[in-house]
């Protein structure tokens, strides 16, 4: 082995690090001069932009703590979408996406990839960041058996010069989706910390599919962002999540003990796998659906499938109808059992699963109501079920992230009347529903088309 002169190595090291320091200084100068002007030449002063400042300080903090945060801020993401592809140039530090003149910029964190470190608050303070942690009940522990609900961190807010970063904590839930809680301030909390009306996330609980993340350079800062920005923004627009009413469901079961017979358990298992299969089939087609009729009532009233309900009921907007729905279900092993009505009027599909069928009702929108139709095969009689208008929300049923009408009580009450909370075992779809109306008879010449039974 050749002898190496230690002094020479030391000299080399010093020389390299000086060169490195010089480089840093050079880039810092470049950065400062670039940062001072926008590409259109108008002067923007460094440090004056509070939004960009708080984001930088926040990112410095999360780097120190190895927090795998990602950007979910909708304004910034929309901005990136418009000017993508983002140049991955480290010198591209012009403040654009983080200088949108808003008070709050939102990031997210997956709870399972993060270990709570209590020194975060102090380090934040040392860096000049005011810090607020908002906790809430852990819904994964709230169930029919346990209503206690341990508190978990749901939101962190960091503030610098009146501008804030909102860090949202996503939790994985049993249906393999991401959930975040609503931001509810406790009485002792600083209500002026941030303008809560301006929050992008957290005014209500929300649910998302786990996004695929990619690294990006935003205003010269390294962040991770959802790979498919437009998908994430679409999800955000309809992410509101409703928790099941566990307390009321428990009260219901105290009055009407749950059926735990082998037949009931068997039906629930079959209904669960059918619901999962239908969700996958419609999901692949990109067709949104919600829990309707008895399946919706089961979720709302008792947070479960009603064991004597015989089938699974789904609703779909007629505007989302696609002719490939039928072949897609057939490919999933669910043959068509009947098709009633037509796309222009009262369409209804039924597919046969293992002992359990799935009924799909198509909903038609009118001025201030929505309705779906029914058809009696033997007489050709038509029925109409009228509901008040509703929006769609996410919830969880049988370990599936699934939609329900947000105004669920109105929906259930329209369908089942004011006594929806009392179980009724004998139910006639033509006469029992509160909202059923006779709607004439299909002309006989149309029967081949509008009454198809297999």
- Residue 150 as a binder of ligand NAG (CB under 6 A): the answer is no
- In whole angstroms, the minimum distance from the beta carbon of 317 to ligand NAG comes to 17
> Which of residues 127 and 231 has its CB atom nearest to ligand NAG in the complex?
231
Residue 217 and residue 184 in contact, taking contact as beta carbons nearer than 8 Å: no
- Residue 228 as a binder of ligand NAG (CB under 6 A): the answer is yes
- Residue 389 as a binder of ligand NAG (CB under 6 A): the answer is no
| Candidate ranges 62-70, 114-122, 224-232, 387-395; the one touching ligand NAG (CB under 6 A) | 224-232
**How far is 151 from 135, CA to CA, in rounded Å?**
6
- Residue 230 as a binder of ligand NAG (CB under 6 A): the answer is yes
Residue nearest to ligand NAG (CB): 231
**How far is 288 from 453, CA to CA, in rounded Å?**
25
Count interface residues toward ligand NAG (CB under 6 A). 4
**How far is 221 from 62, CA to CA, in rounded Å?**
13
SS3 call for 310: coil
> Which of residues 219 and 235 has its CB atom nearest to ligand NAG in the complex?
235
Question: What stretch of H or E contains 153?
Answer: strand 151-160
Give the chain's radius of gyration (CA, Å): 28
**How far is 163 from 49, CA to CA, in rounded Å?**
9
- In whole angstroms, the minimum distance from the beta carbon of 44 to ligand NAG comes to 33
**How far is 161 from 50, CA to CA, in rounded Å?**
6
- In whole angstroms, the minimum distance from the beta carbon of 267 to ligand NAG comes to 35
| Candidate ranges 106-114, 230-238, 290-298, 352-360; the one touching ligand NAG (CB under 6 A) | 230-238
Cα dihedral 408/412/417/422 (nearest 10): -110
- Residue 234 as a binder of ligand NAG (CB under 6 A): the answer is yes
**How far is 379 from 404, CA to CA, in rounded Å?**
32
- Residue 231 as a binder of ligand NAG (CB under 6 A): the answer is yes
> Which of residues 18 and 230 has its CB atom nearest to ligand NAG in the complex?
230
- In whole angstroms, the minimum distance from the beta carbon of 257 to ligand NAG comes to 44
- In whole angstroms, the minimum distance from the beta carbon of 230 to ligand NAG comes to 5
- Residue 379 as a binder of ligand NAG (CB under 6 A): the answer is no
| Candidate ranges 223-231, 249-257, 319-327, 372-380; the one touching ligand NAG (CB under 6 A) | 223-231
**How far is 203 from 117, CA to CA, in rounded Å?**
26
**How far is 194 from 182, CA to CA, in rounded Å?**
15
Going 321 to 268 to 274 to 337, the CA torsion angle's sign is: negative
Residues forming contacts to ligand NAG in the complex (CB under 6 A) are 228, 230-231, 234
């Amino acid at each position: 082995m050749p002898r190496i002169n230690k002094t020479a190595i030391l000299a080399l090291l010093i020389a390299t690090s000086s060169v490195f320091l010089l480089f840093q200084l050079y880039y810092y100068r470049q950065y400062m001069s670039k940062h001072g002007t926008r590409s259109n030449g108008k002067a923007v002063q460094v440090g004056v932009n509070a939004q960009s400042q708080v984001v930088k300080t926040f990112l410095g903090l999360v780097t120190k703590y190895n927090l795998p945060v990602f950007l979910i801020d909708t304004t910034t993401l929309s901005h990136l979408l418009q000017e993508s592809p983002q140049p991955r140039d480290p010198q591209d530090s012009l403040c654009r996406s983080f200088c949108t003149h808003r008070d709050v910029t939102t990031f997210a964190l997956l709870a399972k990839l993060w270990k709570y470190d209590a020194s975060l608050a102090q380090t934040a303070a040392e860096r000049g960041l005011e810090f607020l942690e908002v906790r809430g009940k852990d819904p994964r522990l709230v169930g029919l058996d346990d209503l206690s609900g341990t508190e978990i961190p749901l939101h962190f807010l960091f503030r610098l010069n009146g501008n804030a970063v909102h860090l949202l904590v996503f939790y994985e839930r049993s249906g393999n989706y991401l959930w975040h809680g609503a931001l509810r301030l406790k009485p002792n909390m600083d209500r002026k910390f941030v303008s809560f009306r301006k929050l992008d996330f957290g005014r209500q609980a929300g649910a998302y599919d786990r996004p695929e993340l990619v690294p990006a350079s935003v205003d010269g800062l390294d962040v991770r962002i959802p790979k498919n920005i437009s998908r994430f923004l679409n999800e955000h627009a309809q992410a509101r999540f409703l928790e099941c009413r566990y307390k009321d469901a428990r009260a219901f079961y105290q009055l009407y003990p749950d059926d735990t017979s082998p037949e009931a358990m068997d039906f629930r298992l079959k209904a669960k796998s059918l619901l999962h299969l239908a969700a996958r089939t419609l999901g692949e087609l990109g067709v949104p659906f919600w829990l309707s009729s008895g399946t919706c009532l089961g979720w709302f009233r008792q947070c479960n499938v009603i064991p004597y309900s015989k089938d699974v009921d789904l609703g779909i907007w007629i505007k989302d109808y696609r002719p490939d729905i039928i072949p897609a279900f057939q490919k999933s092993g669910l043959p068509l059992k009947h098709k009633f009505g037509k796309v222009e009027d009262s369409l209804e599909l039924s597919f046969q699963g293992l002992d359990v069928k799935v009924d799909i009702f198509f909903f038609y929108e009118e001025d201030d109501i929505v309705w779906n139709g029914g058809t009696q095969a033997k007489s050709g009689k038509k029925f109409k079920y009228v509901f008040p208008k509703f929006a769609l929300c996410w919830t969880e049923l049988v370990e599936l992230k699934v939609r329900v009408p947000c105004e669920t009580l109105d929906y259930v009450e329209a369908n089942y009347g004011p006594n929806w909370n009392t179980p009724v075992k004998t139910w006639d779809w033509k006469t029992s529903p509160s909202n059923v109306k006779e709607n004439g008879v299909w002309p006989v010449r149309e029967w081949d088309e509008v009454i198809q039974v297999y």
